[in-house]
Amino acid sequence: MTTKRRYSLMGATLGGFLAMLAPLPGYAAINVQCPGDTNGSATWDAGEVQPPNTKCMHLGAGDGFITMADGATQYIFGFSDLTGLVTKPVPPDTGDDVMMEGMLGASFPAPPIMLDEGDEFYLTLTNVGMMMRPDLFDPHSVHYHGFPEAAPIFDGVPDASISINMGSSLTYYYKINDPGTYMYHCHVEATEHMQMGMLGNLYVRPVQDGTTYTYGGRDYTKFAYNDGDGSTGYDKDYPIQIGSMDSAFHNASLTVQPLPFALMEDDYPMLNGRGYPDTVNPAALPPPAGNVNGGKASQKESSLIEAAPGERVLLRISNLNVTRFYTLATLGVDMTVVGMNAKLLRGPDGKDLYYKTNSVTLGGGESVDAIIEIPVDAAAGTKYFLYTTNLNYLSNNTEPFGGMMTEIRVN
Amino acid sequence: MTNISKSLRVPVILLAAFFSVASPVSAIDLAAVEAEWTPPDSATPIPMWGFIADPGSCPAGPVAWDVGPLQVGSPGATLTINLRNCLSEPVSLVIPGQNATLTPVVQGNRVTAFTHEAPAGGTASYTWNNIKAGTFLYQSGSNPAKQVHMGLYGALTVGTYYQATDEALLLYSEIDPALHATAAAATPLTYKPKYFLINGDAFAAGQAVPVVSANAQVNKNLLLRFVNAGLMAHVPVMQGPYMKIIAEDGNPYPYAREQYSVLLAAGKTLDAIWRPEQSGTHALYDRSLSLSSNGAPGGGMLVYLNVQPFPWILFMPAITGAGR
Amino acid sequence: MQTRVIRRALQVTVLGGVFMVLLAVNAGAMIQGITGTSFNLTATTGHISTPDSGSYLIWGYANGAGLAQYPGPTIIVNEGDQVQVKLTNSLTVAGAGPAPNVSIVFPGQHVVVSPTDPGIPGILANEAAPGGTVTYQFTAAKPGTYTYYSGTDSALQVEMGLIGAMIVRPASGANYAYNHPDTQFDRETLFLLSEMDPRIHQVVETFGPDAVAATGYLANYFPVLWFINGRAAPDTMADNGVPWLPNQPYNCMPMMNPGDRLLMRVIGGGRDMHPFHFHGNHARVIARDGRLLESTPGAGPDLSHELFTIQSQPGSTVDAIFGWTGQGLGWDIYGSPAEGPEYVHECMDMDNDDFDDMTHEYCPDHYKPFPVTLPGSLELTFGGFYSGSPFLGLVQSLPPGEGGMNPNGGYTYMWHSHTEKEMVNYDIFPGGMMTMLIIEAPGVMIH
């Protein structure tokens, strides 16, 4: 907790930061674009009409804090979910609701984005600024990683198009044609912003959902892909995002030191933004200690996998760490890999390339869809494990019995 | 010494005949013991922990370390392993890919062992019903970040493939001496292995290349069973020939993968068929370049597979037999 | 604006019934390398440059008496060729020890040494002693993407730069990757991925290779530089053979038009795995280690599958075919009259495949308006490759000093290692294992 001293500055910084923002822009404005939504909440409130197949979301990009599984507090950049906050019209103080919610509101992983094939998705990104780093004026972006047939304007790569400045909003549009497990992240200063935590789960459910297929003697109405035969049917699905962070880098960022890009060595391996045993906490973690981020819960994604005997569990595994490959294994139960990189694992003429395994190896920017079948004779209370076989990553920094591991519990 | 076949040196415990039908129940006895391993470039042994065939009581002092004894099972059998723990902390045993009901050890809110343990000085028993065919790694399930890299691992093979006339086991692992001196758990930043082993041998420059013995013959299929007990990925490459990768973790692929190289991730097992076209020595080496020994190039994960010339003498009776 | 005129002219040409033959493969669409059946490579020393002003000793393969290259010359041969590679060892080293032996291994090839120039036996291959030679011979039996590298003390010599690519072109023709119609391509790009730990190069340069063992760097390996085809970004995007990179002649600058099939030849040249992510679309992985992913010989790539990130493993090769049309975006990439009269264009689909027969525009999205309002220019940060417009082939004004690297208004996509740490040159971002794909508007000629 060597950095705790700095956190007490937060209150003063918050006020100063808002004061600084206020005179900035005649041109900067929060602008949520969502068809049918008139008050800029990215939702359809009373009197507003949601057009068919339309989804909206309002994300904030800024900074915040999380708690590592060994109790350490860590500074992050990240996204916050501002959906539902009214932004129009903008009386002098209404915009501040968004800023108050967004500033130091970063969560890790980022708020999950769950879409359905056929959706038209309007994603507004508001850059709320990095409160702990008033010296930074970084723009931000959203890269919808893996989006097929992408156009640069909505691809989020700042070099190839545009990114949004502090105090303003950019709305991305995606026509969702292809189901599968994707991921999203900020692509501005990617090495830095991604190491700092601007990473999240994103997946698309297929139009086959809602129809019924019988597979292996069981009926399914939810599927990983449009398989045509129910072979990707599942009862439960869990996004599992592999990640890891280098605490030295984060501390250097918080204390405005030079950032060691090439020297990065991650020491906190995680699943969905937590190290074991926080991974199996089904609830949001409590806000970071010491009121460093205004008491906002910043780690809402559990990795606890629960299923009943005979059920099929779809693991939507992605990896967005920026330093290395990880191998993720099951112990006690097999996986069947049915999808890879948001595509059904079949050849062009339909040849089935599914395969059974006990582990998958993913680098950053890769995803795999794997199905676990809980044995029908498994007793309630049985535990299986999902963990990295890079066994030195079973720790939270130096704390043993932690790191990249979660439990699969039979209920 | 290093060119003596490892598969001849390790005690092979035959659990059951491959096609045993009578009583496919096998029990074998292992002990987890303190051991020592002498690296190729130093006379100072490195403290290790290892699995050995249970001598019935704990050895008086450290034994010479080797990978755990190869276990051979038959598909569908029930496998029981009785483990004697001669170490000073609890030890357990798991076989990823062979699914059994796990009885984890929980301390506070953490699982500290994937299944029940043999306490220090005590014993425990593990049973797998209806074991499946393939190649597997057995290893400690207790504090694996520490106990596996200390040396508590070995291989299990179950059944064989009809395509293959013989087989060779290639068990990859690593040793970071710095962690052994204190028997500390490996953590992300501490684990920096210096020795890279195949079947327990760390080849060093200037030594004869280790030879993995198998009855490899020209135009006969040899099954290569790759097992990675290390904490890092390796990439075995055959120099010239291709392999057909047919299974991982005991699970056959829908279509074989024809490659000269293959990713052998940490904890992974792979089965590959190789059909040599030429006799002589064939190098198999790690293309992730763990081809050093304590920092010196020219060693590490490299072995020769010897292929015998076309077996005319053996071949003739085979023809006769086939025509009978 | 100019490009839009060209596009319309192309459409008119088609309507007029004049078929322009654009299928001929031009030289710029193909990977640069050395061709023939008999090659002379020399292992020698040189220095490479990195964009952070670094200069590092390498050991590289040179073409004959040329300069050491990182990577070595890309050997391009034809299926069935009897290939001969004579290696001369001209390495010199600092320190008291002798220069090392050196060799070449060609994974996937049945190599023999020439009876008249056998070199001396080594562990993985016969070697050339200092000042000596060895000649390797093999038949390029099967088409595909391959790699070659030193089989002598590979942990050190591969790191020092003795790596290269080899392409065997199939009997079907130079614009096929393998002997099957599904492997036809319009353009191809090499992506030989590697990394470097400069400490090792500095030790070798100052004290000689024998000093490396004591440092422990080969075990405690820690790369801080990353390369595609031997260059770190942004040098990846400079021309082939620029004079200021004499030892790094190969660029990596994928360019295409909508509807083109771009063959990606991805090689793991170093010792690390790299997740190579290509923005823009999935690519279909058709081969691995020079073998088509097919269920039976002649079936074609029926076991292929699509990825958005290729997991490149050291020493292995992957072939993938990438394409892009903007299909299904839900808006017209050439704009619609709703945006202004200058966006009027047509989508001509006479063969009913949903795409314009010449431009490959996705006709079901034709004239669908751009779906959102973009923020004002003062609210945005602009990239150097941004054309000022969301539409393909259009260049619009940007604030002074912005954009400018995309004169034809192409769509640009970052192609890079998704181990994002590898997108730096030491601590300078962006750099390293990164380049940009440029999809130029139809009618824009690509050099």
What CATH number does residue C55 fall under? 2.60.40.420
Taking CB atoms and an 8 Å cutoff, what residues of chain C touch A31?
373, 375
Q: What is the ipTM of this complex?
A: 0.94
Token pair of C135, please? 């000649």
- Within an 8 Å CB–CB cutoff, is residue C219 touching chain B? yes
- Within an 8 Å CB–CB cutoff, is residue C368 touching chain A? no
Residue type, B96: P
Mutate to test the interface with C, among A30, A121, A161, A176 (most CBs of C within 10 A): A161
Q: Print the domain residue range for A92.
A: 4-410
Token pair of A33, please? 């674009």
φ and ψ at C295, to 5 degrees? Answer: -80, -35
The interface residues of chain B toward chain C in range 1-40, judged by CB-CB distance below 8 A, are none
Of residues C182, C331, C429, nearest to A192 (C-beta): C429
* Residue of A112, A115, A103, A122 whose CA lies nearest to A57: A122
- Cα R_g (chain C), whole angstroms: 24
Shortest Cα distance, chain A CAs vs residue C25, angstroms: 25
Alpha carbon B21 to its chain centroid, in Å, reads 27
Taking CB atoms and an 8 Å cutoff, what residues of chain A touch C324?
149
Query: What pLDDT sits at residue A233?
Result: 98
Query: What does pTM read for this prediction?
Result: 0.93
Helix (H/G/I), strand (E/B), else coil: C377 = helix
Shortest Cα distance, chain B CAs vs residue C3, angstroms: 45
The DSSP letter of residue A405 is E
| A–C CB contacts, 8 A cutoff, strictly below | 222
Closest residue in chain B to residue A408, using alpha carbons only: B102
Shortest Cα distance, chain C CAs vs residue A147, angstroms: 7
Instruction: Please give the Cα distance from C82 to C139 (Å, whole number).
Output: 5
Of residues C123, C289, C311, nearest to B283 (C-beta): C123
Query: What pLDDT sits at residue A15?
Result: 43
Taking CB atoms and an 8 Å cutoff, what residues of chain B touch C153?
205, 291, 297-298
Please give the tally of structural domains in chain A.
1
Please report whether residue C208 resides in a domain.
no
* Statement: residue B114 has pLDDT above 70: yes
Instruction: Report the helix count and the strand count for chain C, using DSSP H and E.
Output: 4, 22
Instruction: Enumerate residue ranges in chain C where pLDDT < 70.
Output: 1-28, 447
Please report whether residue C7 resides in a domain.
no
Query: What pLDDT sits at residue B309?
Result: 84
Return the partners of chain B (3 or more C-beta pairs < 8 Å).
A, C
- Within an 8 Å CB–CB cutoff, is residue A249 touching chain B? no
Residue type, C107: P
CB burial class (10 A; 0-12, 13-18, 19+) of residue A257? exposed
- Within an 8 Å CB–CB cutoff, is residue B279 touching chain C? no
Does A277 sit behind a cis peptide bond, omega within 30 degrees of 0 on the bond before it? yes
CB contact under 8 A, C314 and B289: yes
Please report whether residue C48 resides in a domain.
yes
Taking CB atoms and an 8 Å cutoff, what residues of chain C touch B190?
none
Write the CB contacts of A333 (distance below 8 Å, at least 6 apart in sequence): A372, A373, A374, A375, A384, A408, B99
- Within an 8 Å CB–CB cutoff, is residue A244 touching chain B? yes
Query: What pLDDT sits at residue B260?
Result: 98
Instruction: Please give the Cα distance from A66 to A55 (Å, whole number).
Output: 29
Shortest Cα distance, chain C CAs vs residue B255, angstroms: 7
Shortest Cα distance, chain C CAs vs residue A309, angstroms: 33
User: Are C379 and C373 contacting, i.e. CB atoms less than 8 angstroms apart?
Assistant: no
Return the partners of chain A (3 or more C-beta pairs < 8 Å).
B, C
φ and ψ at B52, to 5 degrees? Answer: -130, 165
- Within an 8 Å CB–CB cutoff, is residue A266 touching chain B? yes
Q: Print the domain residue range for C71.
A: 29-176
CB contact under 8 A, B295 and C295: no
User: Are B103 and A382 contacting, i.e. CB atoms less than 8 angstroms apart?
Assistant: no
- Within an 8 Å CB–CB cutoff, is residue B207 touching chain C? no
Concatenated DSSP letters of C248-266: -------EE-TT--EEEEE
Kindly report the three-state secondary structure assignment for every residue of A170-204.
EEEEEECCCCEEEEEECCCCHHHHHHCCCEEEEEE
Q: C137-158 burial by CB neighbour count: b if 16+ within 10 A, else e?
A: bbebebbbbbbbbbbbbbbbbb
Helix (H/G/I), strand (E/B), else coil: C129 = coil
CATH number of residue A219's parent domain: 2.60.40.420
- For residue range B129-143, list pLDDT tens digits in order: 999 999 999 999 999
Instruction: Please give the Cα distance from B179 to B176 (Å, whole number).
Output: 6
Q: B21-58 burial by CB neighbour count: b if 16+ within 10 A, else e?
A: eeebebebbbbbbbbbbebbbeeeebbbbbbbebeeeb
Query: What pLDDT sits at residue A76?
Result: 98
Taking CB atoms and an 8 Å cutoff, what residues of chain C touch B259?
288-289, 291, 316
Determine the longest span between alpha carbons in chain C, in angstroms. 76
How many CB atoms sit inside 10 A of residue A3's CB?
16
Please report whether residue C70 resides in a domain.
yes
- For residue range A46-102, list pLDDT tens digits in order: 999 999 999 999 999 999 999 999 999 999 999 999 999 999 876 555 557 888 899
Query: What pLDDT sits at residue A92?
Result: 58
φ and ψ at C337, to 5 degrees? Answer: -55, -25
Q: Which domains does chain B have, with CATH numbers?
A: 6-164 (2.60.40.420), 168-314 (2.60.40.420)
Please give the tally of structural domains in chain C.
1
Write the CB contacts of C79 (distance below 8 Å, at least 6 apart in sequence): C140, C141, C142, C143, C168, C169, C170, C171, C179
- For residue range A347-400, list pLDDT tens digits in order: 999 999 999 999 999 999 999 999 999 999 999 999 999 999 999 999 999 999
Residue type, A62: G
- Within an 8 Å CB–CB cutoff, is residue B233 touching chain C? yes
Token pair of A405, please? 């591991």
Kindly report the three-state secondary structure assignment for every residue of B33-47.
EEEEECCCCCCCCEE
Does B59 sit behind a cis peptide bond, omega within 30 degrees of 0 on the bond before it? no
Taking CB atoms and an 8 Å cutoff, what residues of chain A touch B132?
none
Return the partners of chain C (3 or more C-beta pairs < 8 Å).
A, B
* Partners of B284 in beta bridges: B238, B303
Mutate to test the interface with A, among C316, C406, C419 (most CBs of A within 10 A): C419
Instruction: Enumerate residue ranges in chain A where pLDDT < 50.
Output: 1-26
Of residues A280, A333, A391, nearest to B231 (C-beta): A391
Could you tell me the CA-to-CA distances from C437 to A152, C195, C311, C397 in Å, in that order? 11, 21, 19, 22
Taking CB atoms and an 8 Å cutoff, what residues of chain B touch A374?
none
Long-range contacts made by residues C231-234, C-beta under 8 angstroms, separation at least 24?
Answer: C232/C50, C232/C51, C232/C425, C232/C431, C232/C432, C232/C433, C233/C51, C233/C416, C233/C423, C233/C425, C233/C430, C233/C431, C233/C432, C233/C433, C233/C434, C233/C435, C234/C51, C234/C430, C234/C431
- Within an 8 Å CB–CB cutoff, is residue A226 touching chain B? no
Higher-scoring residue by pLDDT: C27, B24? B24
Please report whether residue C82 resides in a domain.
yes
Helices A10-21 and A95-102 pack at an angle, to 10 degrees, of 140
* Residue of C235, C233, C236, C85 whose CA lies nearest to C164: C85
Instruction: Please give the Cα distance from B207 to A337 (Å, whole number).
Output: 43
Closest residue in chain C to residue A147, using alpha carbons only: C281
Which phi-psi region, left, alpha or beta, contains residue B283 (left: φ > 0; alpha: ψ -120 to 50)? Answer: beta
